[in-house]
Chains A and B, each alone.
Chain A
Amino acid sequence: MLKIHNLHKTFKSTKILDGISLEVEKSRIFGLAGPSGSGKSTLLRCIQQLEVPDCGFLECGGKTGFMFQDFQLFPHMTVLENLLYATKFVDKKSNDKKESKKNHMHLAQNMLKKLSIEEKAGIYPRSLSGGQKQRVALARSLMIDPDIFLCDEPTSGLDVATIQDVVQLLKSVNEVGVTMIIASHDLDFLTKISDRIVLLKEGRIAVDIDVRQQPDPAAYLKRFYAASS
């Protein structure tokens, strides 16, 4: 689904990514761990083409969706408008505009219902709580029907109960076949959700583990965390 080979990225003479190579299989949940400044976000941003790598090879086998750490909802649009706006450009070529508009409306309402925020449809983002904003951001990035879903620090600033909801939510997205790449510094969260975790350290891959084959992956990764900081 995603192939990366020897990716490098430098910002003002600071090496952020220093030769990253990895492959992500379809429909897997792939965790990207590492302390802050280890290059997790930059790697995600390179995959999303928000950053141009200095050199290396990156092949992405499908449309990507991206969820920002600070959500970046459009503040002047209601929740429903946030969801619907991007779909205007999804199937531009479709002949029956009315029909596709109706479908998108249906999809958006279903999505809000599934995330139990349907009563917030007409509300502006500034009156939502952090957890609600995140659900809207998740719904919005899923509206364009991505094959790969990139998620930057989805649990930052959320309480324990909400994090549990996020795990369920992301898992349910994965169940319909969407490949996920999740960057987070929260190892407990990552081990709960991922099939495979890569730990980045100073722009390089320090460990690459299959979560199911490790008896206690969080503790195992924490050892590397300590060693890397």
Chain B
Amino acid sequence: MEKFLANSIYIGRGLGFVLQLLGGGFLIGIIVGLLLSIFRYRKASVFLVERFVSVIRGTPLILQLSFIYFSIPGICGIKMGVLSAGIIAFGINSSAYVSEILRSGIESLPKGQFEAAQTLGIPKYYMWKDIILPQVITNVLPALVNEIIALLKETALIAIIGGMDIMRRSQIIAAEQFEYFTPLCIAGVYYYFLVLLIELVGKKIEKKQSDVKNP
């Protein structure tokens, strides 16, 4: 029992690292994804945006992560820590998926919403900020929650560049104690707990939005 507790604490110390990767990655993902989707809607640099999304979605994340951590320093001499390399890789990867989610959300809005904003003389920036995006985010919220969950599970790849996350810590324990079952189960429980938490928050936000609209 004491060993189990000690193992759980050791593995759980990776939680903060995972949350940093997830938070930083998703923040970059949503900002870059948002810009990409607006570029694409406004037919600006469509070719570049489409190629970017296609390449990111068409190559393994493990390759993108290794590329940023191992080969970027060799090319331009910028040295990165494991955490920053992870956040950048997960952020860029997520941005491609987020941009597709947002694009479908933007395209599913009636064109009249854009036109109504135009006829009322609302400047472009405010049109996006106050009229279009609030509606788009509400419509695509379930898809965005899915994307966060997918990203959370993908952060386990950080182990291949030496990040001390939940997965890697459980592997260390397993290798030290010649026993895989318990540490992997502990890691699984941690991940699943996080997923449940994200689902719960997502549902809370969804419910809050529908309460506002259907009082």
B-contacting residues of A (Cβ < 8 Å)? 48, 50, 64-66, 68, 70, 72-76, 85-86, 88-90, 123-124, 126-127, 140-141, 144
Contacts and interface: CB of A to CB of B under 8 A. Distances in A.
B113 A72 contact: yes
B115 A68 contact: yes
Given A85-B130, A89-B126, A126-B213, A74 B121 contact: no
A50 B112 CA distance: 10
Contacts of B157: none
8 contacts: A72-B110, A72-B113, A72-B116, A73-B116, A85-B122, A86-B121, A86-B122, A124-B212
Contacts of A48: 119
Contact of A144 (B110, B120, B134): B120
Task: Kindly name the residue among A68, A90, A123 whose own CB sees the greatest number of chain B CB atoms within 10 A.
Answer: A68
Interface in B123-143: 123, 126, 130-131, 134-135, 138
A76 B134 contact: yes
B126 to A, nearest CB: 7
A74 B116 contact: yes
Interface residues of B, number: 21
Contact of A89 (B121, B135, B138): B121
A144 B113 contact: no
Interface of B: 110, 112-113, 115-116, 118-123, 126, 130-131, 134-135, 138, 212-215
A158 B121 CA distance: 28
B122 A75 contact: no
A140 B131 CA distance: 15
B135 A75 contact: yes
- Which secondary structure dominates chain B's binding surface? helix
Given A70-B112, A75-B213, 5 more contacts: A64-B119, A70-B110, A76-B213, A89-B121, A89-B126
Enumerate the 3 nearest inter-chain pairs by beta-carbon distance, A residue then B residue, closest first: A86-B120, A72-B116, A66-B119
Contacts of A127: 214-215
B115 A140 contact: no
A76 B120 contact: no
A138 B213 CA distance: 22
A124 B130 CA distance: 16
* Highest count of chain A CB atoms <10 Å: which of B113, B121, B126, B214: B121
A48 B119 CA distance: 7
Nearest to A146: B119
B112 A72 contact: yes
Contacts of B112: 68, 70, 72
Contacts of B213: 75-76, 124, 126
Given A74-B113, A124-B212, A126-B213, A141 B131 contact: no
B119 A141 contact: yes
A217 to B, nearest CB: 30
A76 B135 contact: yes
B119 A65 contact: yes
